Amino acid sequence: VMPPKKSWKNISNLSGGEKFFDFGIRMDETDAALDFRNVSIVANIIKERIYKIHDQTKSVTIDSHEIGK
C-alpha cells in the first residue's frame, strides 16, 4: 500500500509514525500464527530495525506470559 502523493522510501527514511504503521501492518499479517518461527522473525525485525535508532539504544521487552491475557 502506498498512500497518495507518497513515493517508495527506504525504511530508515520514514518518520516514526510511518515506521510504527508499517510495523503494525506486518504484525497484523503474522499474528494469526505466532509460532516460534514467526516470533523469531518479528523479534529480529525489532532488534535490527527498531532497537537502534540514530545510535540511541531503545529498550524493547516482549513477555510471552503476558501475550493473550
Q: What is the 3-state secondary structure (H, E, C) of the chain?
A: CCCCCCCCCCHHHCCHHHHHHHHHHHHHHHHHHCCHHHHHHHHHHHHHHHCEECCEECCCCCCCCCCCC
In this prediction, residue 44 carries a pLDDT of 80
Is 38 among the domain residues?
Answer: yes
β-bridge partners, 36: none
User: Domain range for residue 19?
Assistant: 15-57
Please tell me whether the overall predicted TM-score, pTM, comes out greater than 0.75 for this model: no
Q: How many domains does the chain have?
A: 1
Instruction: Report the percent of the chain where pLDDT is more than 90.
Output: 0
13-31: per-residue pLDDT in tens? 777 877 777 777 777 665 6
Is 19 among the domain residues?
Answer: yes
In this prediction, residue 38 carries a pLDDT of 74
- φ/ψ of 53, rounded to 5, equals -130, 120
